[in-house]
Structure formats: structure tokens, C-alpha cells
Structure 1
Amino acid sequence: MNDTLRSLFDDYMPRIMQCRLGDLVQETPVQSMPALSERLGVNILIKREDLQPVFSFKLRGAYAKLQTLTAEEKRRGIICASAGNHAQGVAMAARHMGIDALVVMPAITPDIKVNAVEKLDASVVIHGDDFDTACEKAMELARESGRIFIHPYDDPEVITGQATIALELFRQNHLPIDYLFICVGGGGLAAGMALVSRYLHPGIKLIGVEAEESASMKAAFDAGKPVTLERIGHFAEGVAVRRAGDLTYKICSRLLDEIITVDNDEICAAVQDVYEDTRAIAEPAGVLAIAGLKKFFMDRPGCEGIAAAVLSGANVNFARLRHIAERAAVGEEQEALLGVTIPERPGSFLEFCETVGSRGITEFNYRIADQGEAHIFVGIALKHGTTEKREIIGTLREHGFPVIDLSDNDMARLHIRHMVGGRATVQDEKILRFQFPERPGALLQFLRGMKSGWNISLFHYRNYGSEYGRVLMGIQVPSEDHDRFEKFLADTGYNYTTEADNAAYTMFVGPN
């Protein structure tokens, strides 16, 4: 053991071993996942932190931190910033200890989470459109009011509280754990669990798992220090952190064996896996470690042993489940989305259906394109994943039907599948996808922000119950207005992607 590790263990392990949270925090069970274990060939265990009173592990770190406050600090009150789970943990711990709590939450926070915090007797201030803006406001209010700021992850006492999960896990499971997968947002959970795991079981393989679109710890590993990501996604909002913590990076960089990332479809598929094995409904960030575990062992067939992961939270909006279920089918390779061209003549539609055969059709959209051909957007249920999809595509092509695979096409999945209605030739049309913070009135605000002298030629919006709304938009912009239009887009402040060459657009709604 080198001096750096010895120093970390000497600093943290005594306080972790002495941390007492049992009068508020539940000792959550360890549960097996038999179906997933059979599929992957390893024995999979999950630590059910979704069963805490606030439905996430965050209560541990918050309560551990508040226990260290002096009487004077408790009198001054506390403040934190959060879009959900940390806020609920802080609010519950504060109520338990009789401390006045103020929580700053961004406007993207779902009402269910705001209401949960208010029911725990904390005061709530809504500010900004993301966690970072809310955090800046919370620190400003802390300076003005004298309240103690409770950081969600980059604090030794918070790390100590999260570390107690690993103590419980190893005490509850009597067989040696070979692999431990831990979700990573800011890094508090990973740092705490890695300290205990490496100290008690030096040979264990520790893998951090991040969302692909907000992988701030992986970016820190690559850069050799914490860096701020210019842009992050918020699908798994509980881990959507632009910059890993300084303390957490110091620990994770020395103790984690590697960091892997998972995309949104893999996350949704893991939500389904958890439901099928436990009947629990987890939030996207809550299954991050399980999604990483799946990816790790699917890439390494033949691995054996015991693998554990933390099911870290279950604070999910009910409205999001529809979208999660749709994406899970793709992430689990249970559905193929195809764009198929058929000749526009009597009998060709029936011929296409007979070629597909008795396979389960999950979605079917048909629209004549011109006098010579028609385009079909079809979803087909798969039992054997990519192999079966390739067979279907091959069979269709053998029968003379041109096919485009749209299974991984975000525009197709989020927009085109809901608007197949015919192609059109529109002069000077630019096709863009926008993303904006979702909250009451957000769509109207977006439309007001897009007000200009240019004509809107296409528009699709659907509320997926997510923290960010998504719009597909066509705008007619003459070539001489190109520079002015680019400046206009930059001035709106919205994230956007140009999609004029997207295969789903050109096939179903683009020019004839």
C-alpha cells in the first residue's frame, strides 16, 4: 500500500466505521436478480437503496453531514441545491434534527420532487434552469444569510455517509464479491464505497458507471483533473453533473479500476431488467450501475463470479415511464424500427405484410409518397436481437423492398414515428431539433423565442415527462439570410442540431 492510499484510509476509515445513522436511515436489503444472472452467466446482487424513506441513498450522506454541525451552525440553519434526491435527503435529516432547511431547486425539477421536499417542512426556492445555476444561487444565499451550505457530494462527511452502504453490503453478503459497480454523478457514492471496498477487499474490481451524456468523472480521469463539461444531457438527471468533485476525484482516481459509460437506451433497458426481476420501478439514474454491469459482462462472455451493484434511487415521474418503456425495447434489442419503401401498386402492401410474416408488429405508419412508391415506418418485435433484425432486413431486401434501419435514429424515435403524413417540397427549408428546459409554459416561451420573420414549415413537439422538451422544426430561410439566421439561433440560447440529412426526415417528410 502506497503512502497516498494509506493517508486516505487513515483519514476516512475511522470516521466511516464510527458513523451511526440507524435512527433515521434504513439498512436496505441485498437482493438477487435471477433472470439477469442467468442471461449474463454471473451471480448478480443489488443493494436496494431505493427502499430508503426518501427513495434514494442520498439520505445517508445528508444525515452524516448534519450530525457533525455545531449547535451554533444548527441554529443558523442549512441550505442546499438539488433537482430532487439530495434535497429530499437534506430535508428529511433536517426535520429529524430540528434544523431549519432551505432548498434551491432549478425550474426543471418535476412537481413530484418539489412537493416531496415541501412535505418534509423545508422551504423551497425555484431558481435557474439547471443544477449549476441553482447551486450558485444557493451559495449566494448561504453567504447572505449565514446558513450552512450542504454540498451534495464533494464533502468528507457526505462521502462518509455514502460509504456506509458498502459496510452493509459486505456484512450482509457472506460470499466474496468479485465485481462492484457504482453509479457516478459528482462522485460521492463512488468515493465512499470505493474506500470501504478497497480497504476491506483489496482484490475486488471496482467499476464506476456514468451516463454517456454527462460523464464528468471520466472526463476528469482523461484530463488528469476535474474539468467542466461544456454541455451535458439530463435524461438521467440525478447524475447530470458538469464537473466531478475535487475530493471525489482524488479518491476515485486512486481506487476505481475503470469508468464505463452507458447510453440512454441501455439505461432504459436496465429499468426494465430491474422491474422484471424485482417488480421495482427505478429512476434512470438509479439503475446506472446495473446498466454498466450488463454492458461490462455482455462484452466479456464467459466471466464468472459474484457482481454487485447499487440500485440507488426510485424518484421517477410516472409520465416518463411511457418513454422509458419505448426506449427500453430498443436498448434491450427487443424492437427494430425500419423505414421500408414499397411500390405504389395494388397488392404491394399485402405482399410486404406477408414478407414480415407472423412477427409481432409494434407500430405501423403508412403514407403514399407519390404515384410510384410509398414509405412505411414499421416497428417489429424481436426475440433474438440484432441477429433477427439482420435476418428481417435481408428478407425484405430479397423480396425487393429497400430498407433503412432507424432503430438507433433519435429523430425517428422521438419525432418522425408520430408524424408520418407525407413528404413535401418546401423551398429554402432548414430542419433543426431543439432542446429546452421543460416546465409549465415552456413550449409557449420557446415559440415566443423563435418568433422571427421566417416561416415555420414543420413542427413537432411531444411531452415525454422529461426535464427537457424536444422540438423538431422546419424553418424557411432564403440563402441570403444565412448569416442572420445563424446569429438568430445563437441568440436564442437553445441547444439545437441540424437534421436536414437525417434518413428518417428525407424518407418520410422531406422533399419529394
Structure 2
Amino acid sequence: MNTSLKQTAEAGSAPAVDVGDADYLKRINAARVYDVAIETPLMVAQQLSQRIGNRLFLKREDLQPVHSFKLRGAYNKIAQLTAAERERGVICASAGNHAQGVALSGRNLGIRAVIVMPRTTPEIKVRAVAGFGGEVVLHGDSYDEAAAHAAELQACDNLVYIHPYDDPDVIAGQGTIGMEIVRQHPADIHAVFVCVGGGGLLAGVAAYIKSVRPDIRVIGVEPEDAASMGAALATGERVVLKEVGLFADGVAVKQAGVEPFRLCSKHVDAMMTVSVDEICAAVRDIYEDTRSLAEPAGALAVAGAKKYAAETGIVDQDLVAIQSGANVNFDRLSYIAERAELGEQREALLAVTIPERPGAFREFCTIIGDRSISEFNYRYADAASAQIFVGVKLTNGVAERDTIVGDLEAAGHPVLDMSRNEMAKLHVRHMVGGRARGAGEEILFRVEFPERPGALLKFLNSIGGRWNISLFHYRNHGHAHGLVLVGLQVEPAEQQDCRHALDALGYDYAEETGNPAYQLFLHDA
């Protein structure tokens, strides 16, 4: 399992089929998933395929009644219970998607279903579980804590535990996705990409595909901060991660399952990880091709397929990525959209030092040229130099970013690339500011200008050459007009001239010097 992606691209593995594999093939073929689940379409992502130079097909598990593949495994397991077991009722622990599958399965089969969910679970999933008739219990901050509490409740109430991934019937239910992929796409498939949490989906899909089409590569994809299966396969035994990231909450598992690990050790060709930014970029890619919104875990496989194509250099191949779920909280979309630009290398975040004098900002923007600035954060600090935090839109990725950095440094402006600085992306970009000691006579304006190349430079040519800019904050929100908060150092005798200059510019603006928010947090009293 130390096979590199390049080696995996050149030749897929073909493990021998033993008795256990034959049993899984039989289990998958006989799985009772279609009482509630649908056979989801395998659709080509046209725009993304053109960009990566390969044909990428999306297996649309987000179209299931619970908007996730988890319904398959949950229903197949519960449908196998004896009459006595059904009478006892079932319980599970889940970050949300398995929970919905168990709740809907319980309702359809007339069985009590208790669902223990971490307190960090998105509200949309909690409401969905309750809507399907599940008895929701919120406990702990991770899947593992919820699972421990579920075990306690199981013992107290004598319930049947429905594991989200470490159960042969659950794995077989998920394996029907592999069966459908092979049937829906009989032509050659270079690789199938599968998101991985505990490993049930990867195990089921790999077990089926390697039993009938061993030439197809099966590749698992994990977040960089929750790669338990990759760590297990690399060391040859299951490991427990000290902590896992919760952004892709559907796969935030500290330890791979016993049975999934056994099956993946035999059948999976390679594991790979993707960053938060790459996941966010994949969410946007899926939206642009399908107009559907994948949850972070649901976009993992697409992020992996993109990265694999780039790193191996393959072209004109058929790739399949399982779009595994669409239960995303609406309030996370702004964060996803922001990080997607960085994940696609369409934005550079730079910390630049420029001299603190009138016209310096204009000179900086002249170097940037016609490129769009996505945000600009600055607050006066001292009379010698200014530290600015700027986002620049890119059309040519890393090469263009390097060109910008080189041009700025050649002009005598030290630059620090913050595009991969997690703290800068999460916090600092929103915290640049504060009270400016020594800013002198400062007046504040809120300005609205058309969101087009050159509009910001026009503003600076009219204002920034005469009066020093002591505060500047701008973020591109995707609207037709950009919003800027700007502070200018203007002597009292020239303040009326400054307002006339703004009038002549023709942009809508409002003076905010008297705004209490400015007086409380930004003004040097």
C-alpha cells in the first residue's frame, strides 16, 4: 500500500479472489437496498472533465432520499434483522448521514431507531433525522464520543447496534454502488475515487470491483487532517489518530474499522489526501457542473480525482468519483466559497510592505495592473512603512502568483506569500486593523464602486495621490459593486476639497467619521 500515485496510474492491482471475497460478491448482489434507495445516475462532469483533460463521471449518491449513500448500508443491515431483534429496536452513532439512513430504514420497517449524534453535527442533519422519525440524542464533540455514549445506551435498553461502517451487511449495502458503476459504465475505467471515513464505502466498492473488474484502480481519498485509513494501510495495522479535523464532518473518524481495514488492505490500490482548500474547490466544481451543493465529505472523491490527474499526468482516461452526500449547512457556503479560490489557485494572499506616503498604494495597484483585487486590508501603523494584506485574483495559478511577487519585490516592496498560511486565511485576514496612533486628522468614508478592472485604480488616482490613506478595507462579495471603507489623513482646511473630489469621482459614498463603530474601535481618541 506504499504504491505511489504515479505507479498506480501505470498499473492497477489485481488481488486474488478468496472465499471471503466470493461471500462479499454474493452479499452485494443480494443486498436489499432498493426497497428504499434508488440506482443513482453516473453522469459526466463536462466542464471539469475539460479542465483536467480526462472524462470525469460523478456517481450521484447525493440524489438518494436522504441525500447520501449511507441509506444503502443502513437499510441492508436492518432488513436482515430477525423478528426478535426488530422488536428490541436499533441504535447508532453518526455524524448525520448514517443517522438519516437508520432513521428512514427504521420508519419504513416499523422499528424504533435511536440516533446518537455529536453536538458538532450540522443542524440540517439533526433536523432531517428527527423528520425521518429517529429519536435524536446529542452527545460529545466527535463521532468517537457519540459512539461511546451509544454503546452505553445500547446496553441499558437492549437495542441492536447498527454500525456505520464496521459490519459486513453495511459494507455489502455500500458495495452496491460499485456494482452499479460497473454495470453503468462497461467501457474501460482508469480509476474509481471513493471518500473514506471509517472505510465501509471504500471496502464495499473495492471488494465488488476487484472481484469482477480487477483492472479498475480503486483509490481512497481522505482529508489531510482525518486520514485514519491511509495511516493504517501505511503501517499495516489500524492506528488511532490523536485528533481529527471536523470540516469534513462526515468522515471525521479517528480509527478505520476492523473489517473495512481488512478488505481495503487487499483491494485498494492507493490512498491520497486533500486539503480543506482542495475540498472547497471541489464543492464549487460540482456546483458549476451539476448545480448541486455537495457537503465537504461528499466532494472528497472529486478533489482526489482532480489531484490525481494533475500529479500523474494522465490524459484522455475515464475516471469515476462518488459524490457521496449533499447535507451541507447553508451557513458554511460563504466559507467554502472563500476557500475554493485558494484551493483552485485562483487567488493569492500576500502580505506586502509599502512606504507610508501619499501615492504609494496607487503605485502598488499599478504593479498589480488589471488583475482583480479580491480584498485589501490595511491600517496605519507608523510614518515609515505600511503592511498591507491583499488578495489578488489569478488566471494562471502559481506561475502568475510568482510573477506578481517578483514584480513587487523588484519595485522594492517586500512580499510574504500567505496563500498557504492557515492562520492568515482563517483569522488574520479579518483582523487587520485597530486604533492608529498618530494617524492625525483622519476622516472616514464608505465608498461603493463598480466591480470592474480599473475601478479601484481610478478611485486611487482621484484620492490617494493627494491625501495619505490611513485605513483601507475591501472584500469582493461577488456583487456588481465593490464596497470599500477608507480612511484619509486630511487637514481640516482641506476636508471640503476631499469631499468635492469624491463627488467628482461619481461613485456613491457616505462619510462615516461620526459612526460610533468607528469611534469605538478604530478612531485614535
Tell me if both proteins adopt one fold, taking TM over 0.5 as the criterion: yes
Give the match's secondary structure for 2:126.
helix
TM-score by length of 2: 0.79
Provide structure 1 residue ranges, at least 5 long, that are not aligned to the other structure.
Answer: 426-512
| Residue of structure 1 equivalent to 2:331 | 319
1:301 lines up with 2:320 in the alignment: no
Q: Distance in 1 between matches of 2:56 and 2:145?
A: 38
Alignment of 1:468-479 (within 5 A): none
1:269 lines up with 2:269 in the alignment: no
1:361 lines up with 2:412 in the alignment: no
Which residue, 296, 301, 321 being the options, matches 1:289?
301
Please report how far the alpha carbon of residue 138 of structure 1 lies from its aligned counterpart in structure 2 after TM superposition.
Answer: 0.5
Alignment of 1:88-237 (within 5 A): 88-237=100-249
| Residue of structure 1 equivalent to 2:473 | none
1:76 lines up with 2:113 in the alignment: no
Q: Distance in 2 between matches of 1:302 and 1:250?
A: 30
Give the match's secondary structure for 1:333.
coil
Question: In angstroms, what is the RMSD of aligned CA positions?
Answer: 1.7
Q: Contact between 2:171 and 2:203, CA under 8 Å: does it hold in 1? A: yes
Please report how far the alpha carbon of residue 355 of structure 1 lies from its aligned counterpart in structure 2 after TM superposition.
Answer: 1.5
Q: Contact between 2:192 and 2:319, CA under 8 Å: does it hold in 1? A: yes
Q: Contact between 2:376 and 2:391, CA under 8 Å: does it hold in 1? A: yes
Q: Contact between 2:379 and 2:436, CA under 8 Å: does it hold in 1? A: no
Which residue, 328, 347, 358 being the options, matches 1:346?
358
| Residue of structure 1 equivalent to 2:451 | none
Please identify, of 164-173 and 81-90, the stretch whose mean Cα deviation from structure 2 is larger: 164-173
Q: Which amino acid aligns with 1:11?
A: D
| Residue of structure 1 equivalent to 2:35 | 23
Q: Distance in 1 between matches of 2:273 and 2:181?
A: 24
Q: Contact between 1:342 and 1:348, CA under 8 Å: does it hold in 2? A: yes
Q: Contact between 2:32 and 2:79, CA under 8 Å: does it hold in 1? A: no
Q: Distance in 1 between matches of 2:35 and 2:140?
A: 35
| Residue of structure 2 equivalent to 1:243 | 255
Q: Contact between 2:103 and 2:132, CA under 8 Å: does it hold in 1? A: yes
Describe the superposition over 1:34-53 as per-residue Cα deviations: whole angstroms up to 9, x where unpaired. Answer: 11111111111110000000
Q: Contact between 2:222 and 2:300, CA under 8 Å: does it hold in 1? A: yes
Q: Contact between 1:5 and 1:254, CA under 8 Å: does it hold in 2? A: no
| Residue of structure 1 equivalent to 2:411 | 399
| Residue of structure 1 equivalent to 2:268 | 256
Equivalent pairs, count: 426
Please identify, of 4-13 and 194-203, the stretch whose mean Cα deviation from structure 2 is larger: 4-13
| Residue of structure 1 equivalent to 2:44 | 32
Give the match's secondary structure for 1:329.
helix
Q: Distance in 2 between matches of 1:284 and 1:346?
A: 45
Please report how far the alpha carbon of residue 69 of structure 1 lies from its aligned counterpart in structure 2 after TM superposition.
Answer: 0.1
Q: Which amino acid aligns with 1:308?
A: V
Q: Which amino acid aligns with 1:411?
A: M
Q: Contact between 1:40 and 1:301, CA under 8 Å: does it hold in 2? A: no
Alignment of 1:428-507 (within 5 A): none
Q: Do the aligned partners of residues 423 and 6 (structure 1) sit closer, same or farther apart at CA in structure 2, a change above 3 Å counting?
A: farther
Q: Which amino acid aligns with 1:378?
A: V
Provide structure 2 residue ranges, at least 5 long, that are not aligned to the other structure.
Answer: 1-12, 438-525
Give the match's secondary structure for 1:299.
helix
Which residue, 67, 76, 93 being the options, matches 1:55?
67
Q: Distance in 2 between matches of 1:21 and 1:167?
A: 12
Describe the superposition over 1:419-451 as per-residue Cα deviations: whole angstroms up to 9, x where unpaired. Answer: 1115999xxxxxxxxxxxxxxxxxxxxxxxxxx
Which residue, 391, 395, 404 being the options, matches 1:379?
391
Q: Distance in 2 between matches of 1:176 and 1:23?
A: 30
Q: Contact between 1:369 and 1:422, CA under 8 Å: does it hold in 2? A: no
Q: Distance in 2 between matches of 1:346 and 1:111?
A: 50
Q: Do the aligned partners of residues 245 and 178 (structure 1) sit closer, same or farther apart at CA in structure 2, a change above 3 Å counting?
A: same
Describe the superposition over 1:470-508 as per-residue Cα deviations: whole angstroms up to 9, x where unpaired. Answer: xxxxxxxxxxxxxxxxxxxxxxxxxxxxxxxxxxxxxxx
Q: Which amino acid aligns with 1:31?
A: M
Give the match's secondary structure for 2:18.
helix
Please report how far the alpha carbon of residue 27 of structure 1 lies from its aligned counterpart in structure 2 after TM superposition.
Answer: 0.9
Please report how far the alpha carbon of residue 166 of structure 1 lies from its aligned counterpart in structure 2 after TM superposition.
Answer: 1.1
1:412 lines up with 2:424 in the alignment: yes
Q: Identity across aligned pairs (percent)?
A: 53
Describe the superposition over 1:215-255 as per-residue Cα deviations: whole angstroms up to 9, x where unpaired. Answer: 00011112211111111111101001000001000000110
Q: Distance in 1 between matches of 2:414 and 2:27?
A: 65
TM-score by length of 1: 0.81
| Residue of structure 1 equivalent to 2:464 | none
Q: Contact between 2:380 and 2:436, CA under 8 Å: does it hold in 1? A: no
Q: Contact between 2:62 and 2:323, CA under 8 Å: does it hold in 1? A: yes
Q: Contact between 1:152 and 1:158, CA under 8 Å: does it hold in 2? A: yes
| Residue of structure 1 equivalent to 2:3 | none
Give the match's secondary structure for 1:375.
strand
Describe the superposition over 1:357-392 as per-residue Cα deviations: whole angstroms up to 9, x where unpaired. Answer: 111010011222211011111111000000001111
Q: Distance in 2 between matches of 1:215 and 1:52?
A: 26
Q: Distance in 2 between matches of 1:258 and 1:242?
A: 19
Describe the superposition over 1:114-161 as per-residue Cα deviations: whole angstroms up to 9, x where unpaired. Answer: 111111111111111211111011111111111000000000000000
Q: Do the aligned partners of residues 239 and 329 (structure 1) sit closer, same or farther apart at CA in structure 2, a change above 3 Å counting?
A: same
Give the match's secondary structure for 2:187.
coil
Q: Which amino acid aligns with 1:140?
A: E
